[in-house]
């Protein structure tokens, strides 16, 4: 008599942490997000003390003119799997940026041209992937969907799970919460905590006139580096005169 051996219990999915979907998140007002888009990522990064910028390996792969700007819809994938990326297309709202945490998978893509095409039909504003994508030529043909990622591979994912949607993820070394605002340009990707957005925009707008005046003066060659000497002197630099 043959004994039937079932699937190991260790391979079962368990509802809860690691296998859950949150369908509703709070998103900042659209007018505040649009106001943030008037500024470049270096200015934004500076006013958050340079600690909310993703690693430089995550970069725009779909052209220099395609920037990401919008509230984060977060996805955590099991390495080599993208089931939750597909489900995110049903959860996302128009204007969202899908931020994907691949659990440091560097061998398998988590999205390609089919996901990108479906996303555009749903009004999704872009993707930021801490991992790899594929089918880049097909994504480029769309012409208007920004995708930021670490790179490209032809190796596709499985579709089994587990994973999470709209729970905190880590992307590019930064913890991203659902509803945080993601902005990316040629300089890189910055994450703005949703509860800080209004204050940050106010600070950026207050500084913009002074920064513009300084930049214009430098362009004319009108600047002084006396502040450098003052900083060096205060720090106790050893100044050596090599002329003797």
pLDDT in tens, 168-178: 999 999 999 99
* Beta pairing class for 169-171 and 174-176: antiparallel
Which tokens hold the place of 234?
A: 């205060």
How far apart, in whole angstroms, are the C-alpha atoms of residue 16 and residue 147? 30
pLDDT at 50: 96
Residue 10, pLDDT score: 77
Question: Coil, helix or strand for 71?
Answer: strand
Q: What is the pLDDT of residue 79?
A: 96
pLDDT, tens digit (0-9, with 9 covering 90-100), for 27-64: 999 999 999 999 999 999 999 999 999 999 999 999 99
Structure tokens at 36: 């943030």
* Residue whose structure tokens are 């580096």: 225
Burial-class residue 10 by CB neighbours within 10 Å (0-12, 13-18, 19+).
exposed
Q: Per the structure block, which two tokens stand in for 196?
A: 């800080």
Indicate the helix (H) or strand (E) that contains 74: strand 68-77
Pairing of strands 151-152, 132-133: parallel
pLDDT at 1 (0 to 100): 59
Q: What is 28-199's CATH topology?
A: Glucose Oxidase; domain 1 (3.50.30)
Of 211 and 193, which is predicted with more confidence?
Answer: 193
β partners of residue 175? 170
Per-residue pLDDT at 244 exceeds 60: no
**Continuous segment of H or E residues that includes residue 226:** helix 226-235
> Terminus-to-terminus CA distance in the chain, angstroms?
99
Residue entry with tokens 């977060």:
74
Q: What confidence tens digit (pLDDT) does each residue in 89-133 have?
A: 999 999 999 999 999 999 999 999 999 999 999 999 999 999 999
Q: Give residue 243's pLDDT.
A: 66
Computed over every residue of the chain, the mean pLDDT equals: 94
CA distances from 100 to 105, 212, 222, 225, 236 (A): 11, 35, 45, 43, 46
Is it the case that residue 140 has pLDDT exceeding 90? Answer: yes
Contact 174, 181 (CB under 8 A): no
DSSP conformational letter for 17: T
In this model, does residue 161 exceed pLDDT 70?
A: yes
């Amino acid at each position: 008599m043959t004994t039937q051996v079932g699937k190991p219990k260790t391979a079962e999915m368990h509802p809860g942490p690691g296998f859950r979907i949150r369908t509703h998140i709070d998103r900042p007002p659209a007018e505040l997000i649009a106001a943030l888009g008037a500024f470049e990522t270096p200015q934004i990064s500076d006013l958050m003390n340079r600690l909310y910028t993703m690693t430089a390996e995550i970069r725009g792969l779909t052209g220099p003119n395609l920037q990401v700007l919008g509230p984060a819809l977060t996805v955590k994938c099991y390495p080599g799997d993208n089931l939750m990326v597909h489900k995110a297309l049903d959860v996302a709202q128009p204007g969202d940026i899908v931020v994907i945490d691949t659990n440091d998978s560097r061998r398998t893509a988590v999205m390609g041209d089919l996901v990108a095409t479906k996303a555009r039909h749903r009004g999704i504003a872009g993707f930021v992937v801490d991992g790899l994508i594929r089918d880049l030529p097909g994504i480029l043909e769309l012409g208007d969907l920004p995708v930021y990622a670490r790179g490209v591979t032809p190796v596709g994912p499985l579709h089994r799970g587990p994973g999470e949607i709209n729970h905190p993820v880590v992307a590019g070394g930064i913890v991203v919460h659902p509803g945080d605002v993601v902005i990316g340009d040629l300089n890189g990707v910055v994450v703005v905590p949703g509860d800080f957005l209004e204050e940050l925009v106010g600070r950026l707008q207050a500084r913009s006139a002074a920064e513009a005046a300084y930049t214009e003066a430098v362009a004319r060659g009108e600047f002084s580096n006396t502040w450098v000497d003052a900083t060096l002197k205060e720090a106790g630099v050893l100044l050596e005169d090599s002329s003797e």
